[in-house]
Structure 1
Amino acid sequence: MKIYYASRMGKVEKLAKMVSEEAIKIETADLEVNEDFVLFTYTDGHGIVPAIVEEFLKNTHAHLKGVVVSGSMERHADTYCFAGDIIAKEYNVPCLYKVDGAGTQEDVTAIQELLSK
């Protein structure tokens, strides 16, 4: 399964690349996607889906199969990983996994196991 990711501070990029070296960064919203994928994203501000992710999903959501989301439990416990919940609800896909920051090796292993199924 392909992984597309959005990363502002490098944490999601680190996680996505640990899960799969072939993960593709969303640098512009007009990427053409013709295959099923899992989205890795961060949560912006207080529980907001990043603008580039919203734009990217407008044209690619038909291939979206699930979301892995990063957040900060320390800084935003009340809206922790809300972007994943919002995307999951809007596009009727599962929020597969939530990580604090870049996650841990245990998170990477768990995500790899989920994606292999």
Structure 2
Amino acid sequence: MEIGFELVCETGAVAWSGKRFNELRLYRACEPAKKADSSCSSGLWVHRAPRSFDALKVIELRNFLAAIAVGRNADPDLSEAARIARIWEAAVATSEHRTWIAPEDHTLKRETL
């Protein structure tokens, strides 16, 4: 199973893949995007984050331990996960119904065990 997304619109597209987690692909049909640390060809650029997977895990662990040291929740916490889930569910519902559904107007589907 691959984790990622691809969003295609009238004016361009954006894509991300968990297999290449430090890359974000952006295509703008109307104007080529140019940015440092990226490659650009016919409107497509790929931004590469300068970190390895191991470096990201060390940063996450440091942030987790720092949160414990000061007695606060680490980010992201479960409330952030629920907010992201609402956004995802609204995006899926928007696609299924072919009309905009705002995350705050959409309730999560509850499955019974």
Answer whether TM exceeds 0.5 for this pair. no
Q: Which has the higher contact order (CA 8 A, sep 6+)?
A: 1
* The structure with more radius of gyration: 2
For Structure 1 versus Structure 2, the TM-score category normalised by the shorter chain is under 0.3
Question: Please, what TM-score do these two structures have when normalized by structure 1?
Answer: 0.21
Question: Please, what TM-score do these two structures have when normalized by structure 2?
Answer: 0.21
